[in-house]
C-alpha cells in the first residue's frame, strides 16, 4: 500500500512551516506502507495542480495532507472540507479571496474518508494531544482538503483522503501561538498513517 503525504511551504511571513518540516522527516516506509511526500505551495491558484500531479504520479491508496495552524494546541484531525475560500490573510501569491467557492457548483462539503476518530484515539493512546476538528478553516488548507476530496469524487484514481492540522514549531513562534516538538509531529503523522493503512 502507498501513501502520499503533503506539507505546505511557509506562509504569512513566517520562515518555517511545521507541516513541511515534519513531512520531510517521514521515513520512506512504515511497515508495509510506502510513504511518498510532496511540498504544496500555500497558494490558492497553484496548490491543487501540484497536488493532482503528485497523486497521478504516485497513485496512492491513501492521501494525507498536513498543514500548520498555529492557534491549535493539538494535532487536529479534520473531519470536513467546505466549498469556501475566505482568506483572512494573503496567500503566497498575494491572493486574498473572499466569499468564493473552491469549486463553483460543487457540493457544499466533503467528509474525510480516512479514519478520523480511530486516528485521534491512537494519537491520544500514544500520549500526543489530539482532537477531531470540525473545521479546517477557509484558507488554503481547507481549499486543498476540499480539492483533494473533489478530485477523488470526480477523477479517475480512487483513494482515501484526509487532512491533519499541526501546531507550530517552537522555532520562530510568536506570542499566542501553540507549539509542539518536531519529533512529536513526525510521530503523530506516522501513527495516523499506520491507523489509516490498517483500516
Task: Classify residue 169 by its DSSP letter.
Answer: P
43 binds ligand PCA (CB under 6 A): no
Q: Name the active-site residue from 78, 143, 152, 178.
A: 78
In this structure, the strands spanning 160-166 and 75-78 are antiparallel
Contact flag: residue 115 with ligand PCA (CB under 6 A): no
CB of 32 to ligand PCA, least distance (A): 29
Among 21, 65, 141, 143, the one annotated catalytic: 141
Q: Other C-beta atoms within 10 Å of 172: how many? A: 13
Among 77, 140, 148, 186, binds ligand PCA (CB under 6 A): 140
- Among 44, 110, 139, 159, contact with ligand PCA (rule: CB under 6 A): 139
**Closest residue by Cα to residue 144 from 69, 20, 49:** 49
165 as an active site residue: the answer is yes
Interface segment toward ligand PCA; rule CB under 6 A; list 55-63, 66-74, 100-108, 168-176: 66-74
3-state secondary structure of 31: coil
Restricted to residues 5-24, the positions that interact with ligand PCA (CB under 6 A) are 8, 11, 17, 19
Q: Are 26 and 87 in contact (CB under 8 A)?
A: no
Integer Cα distance of 115 and 6 in angstroms:
18
| CA–centroid distance for 183 within its chain | 17
Q: Rounded to the nearest whole angstrom, what is the least distance from the CB of residue 193 to ligand PCA in the complex?
A: 18
User: Using an 8 Å Cβ cutoff, are 3 and 36 in contact?
Assistant: yes
92 counts as binding ligand PCA under rule CB under 6 A: no
CB of 20 to ligand PCA, least distance (A): 8
Catalytic site includes residue 178: no
**Selection from 3, 55, 4, 23 nearest residue 169 by Cα:** 23
- Of 30-38, 61-69, 78-86, 178-186, the window that binds ligand PCA (rule: CB under 6 A) is 61-69
Please identify every residue annotated as catalytic: 78, 141, 165
Amino acid at each position: 500500500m502507498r501513501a502520499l503525504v503533503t506539507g505546505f511551504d511557509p506562509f504569512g511571513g513566517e520562515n518555517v512551516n511545521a507541516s513541511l518540516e515534519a513531512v520531510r522527516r517521514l521515513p520512506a516506509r512504515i511497515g508495509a506502507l510506502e510513504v511518498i511526500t510532496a511540498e504544496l505551495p500555500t497558494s490558492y491558484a497553484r496548490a491543487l495542480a501540484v497536488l493532482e500531479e503528485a497523486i497521478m504520479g504516485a497513485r496512492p491508496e491513501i492521501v494525507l495532507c498536513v498543514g500548520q495552524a498555529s492557534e491549535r494546541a493539538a494535532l487536529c484531525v479534520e473531519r470536513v472540507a467546505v466549498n469556501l475560500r475566505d482568506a483572512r490573510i494573503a496567500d503566497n501569491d498575494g491572493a486574498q479571496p473572499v466569499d468564493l467557492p473552491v469549486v463553483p457548483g460543487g457540493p457544499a462539503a466533503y467528509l474525510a474518508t480516512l479514519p478520523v476518530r480511530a486516528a485521534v484515539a491512537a494519537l491520544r493512546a500514544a500520549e500526543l494531544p489530539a482532537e477531531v476538528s470540525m473545521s479546517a478553516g477557509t484558507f488554503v488548507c481547507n481549499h486543498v482538503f476540499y480539492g483533494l476530496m473533489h478530485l477523488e469524487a470526480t477523477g479517475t484514481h480512487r483513494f482515501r483522503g484526509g487532512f491533519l492540522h499541526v501546531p507550530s514549531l517552537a522555532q520562530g513562534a510568536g506570542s499566542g501561538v501553540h507549539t509542539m516538538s518536531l519529533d512529536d509531529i513526525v510521530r503523530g503523522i506516522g501513527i495516523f498513517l499506520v491507523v489509516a493503512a490498517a483500516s
